[in-house]
Chains A and B, each alone.
Chain A
């Protein structure tokens, strides 16, 4: 076998192996998307009921609470960025990071300090590499987040907002995550978690303009609100984590699908080249044989003479 042909054959073998791997990863990601979507759906009854309850307290009482009232001057904001632990997901992480950076720049332009909280090794690596300060970070659960993980993430945020600004507390919390719109579309977006704007929440929970009943609060509206809002934040963080996970798997699936397609194309091109090389080799061999035998025939003819 000629050297050229051997090189092609070797490359075809290695690309085939890569293709098998990416194909497997594509299928794993596809099955995980379905699972993650199911989890998003399973968490929605709790989130809906909780939103309803928050709206009920917010609109049904005149309670003022630190978590629903807008501070007059916002000194510090917290930004929670959700990324994934692992890459191979196309632009998934860079889109989320870009969205967080735009938000940070906007907040800083408004004269606010920004504390960054990060979920996922990818986001943390990005910030560490640029030597930016990160208030707190978590990793290890981005593929399949549980409610306990969401609680863990939400706890320091709730603590920070309850603290006075002078003692290092924050006045508002923003979250940057990737919304799972569909299998093909995932968009990185930012959202203000707290302080809660009740008008928006009310719009979400009662779009038909339904009138909320006048609730009797047990033990009191303040206590209910005190207990509700941390749960509300946790449930929002949980939902964002789940959507982020689903989006990540969908992005991986898409990235791996295009990698598999590209590998297929590469194999085809390489096979064509290998065939051409083999053909050229055979042609050369034939011409060598013919040339050789002609030379031999000429030589014997010459000696006869």
Chain B
């Protein structure tokens, strides 16, 4: 059993992150799921939420993912999302403003997106 996962986090218009990891935690529609090397082949629908990737050199990468899929086979894991941002790329102040606006306008989807971004940014 290989001790590493090859992870590719891809958004619709770019590859956001790729590399080796030991654990990936993501939120599917039926709950959080953790994938470690040697997991059984899996294909799931992702909820919008933060995805945590524990890299093989001990670091942690957190990304905000808005909808998409997780697919895993042969120790290759791909996270497909229409929109995905690494926590480092998130501008907290801007997202807070977005959250305010979404709340004021009662836009639940935008509020949820902003919330996910903030949570991803908080855990970096």
- Give the B-binding residues of A (Cβ under 8 A): 39, 42-43, 45-46, 49-50, 52-53, 56-57, 146-147, 150-151, 212-219, 223-224, 227-228, 231, 234-235, 238
Contacts and interface: CB of A to CB of B under 8 A. Distances in A.
Contacts of B14: 42-43
A223 B29 contact: yes
A240 B8 CA distance: 23
A56 B71 contact: yes
A93 B71 CA distance: 39
A227 B40 CA distance: 21
Contact size class for B? 20 to 34
Contacts of A57: 43
Contact of A219 (B12, B44, B69, B80): B44
A146 to B, nearest CB: 7
Nearest to B83: A147
B43 A45 contact: no
Given A212-B73, A215-B41, A227-B69, 6 more contacts: A50-B69, A53-B80, A215-B71, A216-B41, A217-B44, A231-B82
A218 B28 contact: yes
A218 B10 contact: no
Tell me whether chain A's interface is mostly helix, strand or loop, or mixed: helix
Most-contacted residue by chain A among B29, B70, B73, B80 (CB, 10 A): B80
A218 B82 contact: no
Given A46-B80, A49-B78, A214 B28 contact: no
B30 A46 contact: no
B95 interface: no
A43 B10 CA distance: 9
Contact of A216 (B43, B45, B80): B43
Contacts of B10: 45-46, 49
Interface in B53-95: 68-71, 73-74, 78, 80, 82
Contact of B69 (A39, A43, A228): A228
Nearest to B12: A147
Contacts of B82: 147, 151, 231, 234
A159 B51 CA distance: 30
Contact of B80 (A39, A50, A213, A217): A50
A215 B29 contact: no
Contacts of A49: 8, 10, 71, 78, 80
